[in-house]
Amino acid sequence: MRSEWAAAMAININDPQADALTRTFARMAGLSIREAIVTAMKEAIDRRRNREKPLETARRLREKHGIVIGGAASKPLQREAYDEMWDDLVQW
């Protein structure tokens, strides 16, 4: 029920920072305030939908730099290695 109510409500944001950012973006893009809000929201949604996942980033960078993972590098570290790293951090 709440989502239906919220979807039917017009947006009225009384926030000086939101207002300033929207007006700055509208001027930069040569858009009306309404167009600036719509454009910014579409771009934000698109960025989130198409955000590269960490594994994809790692794969892309390995391919770009010709790094091949195999052998010992593809096996997880032993618990002792993590314990040793944490010990080093805790001593700071």
- 20-73 tens-digit pLDDT: 999 999 999 999 999 999 999 999 999 999 999 999 999 999 999 998 888 777
Q: Which residues lie below 8 Å from residue 70, measured CB to CB, with a gap of 6+?
A: none
**What was the pLDDT predicted at 31?**
97
With 70 as the cut, is the pLDDT of residue 7 above it? no
- Written in H, E and C, the secondary structure of 76-87 is CCCHHHHHHHHH
Using DSSP's 3-state secondary structure scheme, residue 30 falls into coil
Residue 8: which pLDDT band, with cuts at 50, 70 and 90?
low
The pLDDT value given to residue 83: 86
Local structure of 44: helix, strand or coil: helix
Instruction: Give the H or E element holding residue 2.
Output: helix 2-8
Q: 62 with 69: CB under 8 angstroms?
A: yes
